[in-house]
């Protein structure tokens, strides 16, 4: 690894620009050297804003270029695996946005490539870098709530994601697009694995999208059995309209710990006609510090100073759970998570 770490951004859309702007503003030890996006306007706009001279139409070129040490993969979910496998085979380090892939076959191919690579893969589970969520994890590890036997995790997005994400074949559905973070939170904070999931879902706000994209839901509720007798509930909604909402509660044998706040960063305004606070408008705002910390972590992982805080196995496990949720939605029954075909 050269100093600074030469980073290529693959996918210059919503998530890509969060990482691109962080890199352009300065992530210690990293330099943005290329932006790859097959859509000319997207890559040119991003390159101009980010002050990056090299733009590439082909993400695989960026993933394998000799002048690149690390790749941030922020392209649509169904394109992650091809880029990740090529980059890992070329020995690059990766920060991969969630979910790892759209099918389990793809995810396992990425895992195999990671196993045989000198490059490391960091999963973009940014809650692991959020001060409040990390404090909850620390409390749980310290034994402050005893055995964490139940996790309840809520994830809601304010507006619809881009159109490709409406199609569960390409995005792995609402549960992967919005609630990958919740699935990871359950495993992370409980130190348990998913065993069975039972999901119900509705296209409560956008039945028109369910008619166009089979399997589309905008509201989902999942009850989960975890290893070692643990339980969890995950619920998701998008578009929620009112803002971005990420909250978790971990109930233990000796207490409860809560993280995430629908009023984060707001102030209470009181006037004669009523009282108001500001909603959290976006994941970009709520987790701004966490995305910066995640980008800085990639540098330390590439230098061998840290192990990925969330790695490829965590990406596979969250996707396995997400795909089991989709099967449960389809079949209307509880589904075993481990070892079933994707
Ligand atoms: N961590 C988070 O909180 C978070 C938030 C939003 C999105 N995401 C994830 O980031 C990824 C991108 O989502 P988004 O909302 O930014 O999507 P987007 O549609 O806004 O952006 C995707 C970009 O990738 C480009 N692209 C299309 N095909 C490509 C390919 N084959 N190779 C490279 N680039 C390609 C598109 O032109 C577009 O500019 C998804 O996997 C999504 O789930 C994560």
Query: With a threshold of 0.75, does the pTM exceed it?
Result: yes
- For 98-167, give the DSSP string: SSS-SSHHHHHHHHHHHHT-SS-EEEE-GGGGSHHHHHHHHHHHTTTTSSEEEEEEEEE-SS---GGGGS
User: What was the pLDDT predicted at 2?
Assistant: 60
Distance CA 313, CA 123 (A): 9
pLDDT in tens, 119-165: 999 999 999 999 999 999 999 999 999 999 999 999 999 999 999 99
> What is residue 25's predicted lDDT score, i.e. its pLDDT?
97
pLDDT of residue 341: 45
- CA 250 to ligand 1 centroid distance, Å: 31
Q: What are the C-alpha distances in Å from 79 to residues 10, 23, 98, 103? A: 10, 22, 12, 11
Q: What was the pLDDT predicted at 199?
A: 98
Residue segments in the chain with a per-residue pLDDT below the cut of 50: 340-342
98 lines ligand 1 (CB under 6 A): yes
Distance 146 CA to ligand 1 centre (A): 39
Residue 1 confidence (pLDDT):
59
Q: Is 124 in the pocket of ligand 1 (CB under 6 A)?
A: yes
- Residues near 203 by beta carbon (within 8 Å), at least 6 away in sequence: 209, 210, 216, 217, 218, 219
Cis omega before residue 99 (within 30°)? yes
pLDDT for position 339: 56
- pLDDT tens, 277-289? 999 999 999 999 9
Residue 184: CB atoms within 10 Å? 25
CA distance linking residue 75 with residue 276, whole number of Å: 37
């Amino acid at each position: 690894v050269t100093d600074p770490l030469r980073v290529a951004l693959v996918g210059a859309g919503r998530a890509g620009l969060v990482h691109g702007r962080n890199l352009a503003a300065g992530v210690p030890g990293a330099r943005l050297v290329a932006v790859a996006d097959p859509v000319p306007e997207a890559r040119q706009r991003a390159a101009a804003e980010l002050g990056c001279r090299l733009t590439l139409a082909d993400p695989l070129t960026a993933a394998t270029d000799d002048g690149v040490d690390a790749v941030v993969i922020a392209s649509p979910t169904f394109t992650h695996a091809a880029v990740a496998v090529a980059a890992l085979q070329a020995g690059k380090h990766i920060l991969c946005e969630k979910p790892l892939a759209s099918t389990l076959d793809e995810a396992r191919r990425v895992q195999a490539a990671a196993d045989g690579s000198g490059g490391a893969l960091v999963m973009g589970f940014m809650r692991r870098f959020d001060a409040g969520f990390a404090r909850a994890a620390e409390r749980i590890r310290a034994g402050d709530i005893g055995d964490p036997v139940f996790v309840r995790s809520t994830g809601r997005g304010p507006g619809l994601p881009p159109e490709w994400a409406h199609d569960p074949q390409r995005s792995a559905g609402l549960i992967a697009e919005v609630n990958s973070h919740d699935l990871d939170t359950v495993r992370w904070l409980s130190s348990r694995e998913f065993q069975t999931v039972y999901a119900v879902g509705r296209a409560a706000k956008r039945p028109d999208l369910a008619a166009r994209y089979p399997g589309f839901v905008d509201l989902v509720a999942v009850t989960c059995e975890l290893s070692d007798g643990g339980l969890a509930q995950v619920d998701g909604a998008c578009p929620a309209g009112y803002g971005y909402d990420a909250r978790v509660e971990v109930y233990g044998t000796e207490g409860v710990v809560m993280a995430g706040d629908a009023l984060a960063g707001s102030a209470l305004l009181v006037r004669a006609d009523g009282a108001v606070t500001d909603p959290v408008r976006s994941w970009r705002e709520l987790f701004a510090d966490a995305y910066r910390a995640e980008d800085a972590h990639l540098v330390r992982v590439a230098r061998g100073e840290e192990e990925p805080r969330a790695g490829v196995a965590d990406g596979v496990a969250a996707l396995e759970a997400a795909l089991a949720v989709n099967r449960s939605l389809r079949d209307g029954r509880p589904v075993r998570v481990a070892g079933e075909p994707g």
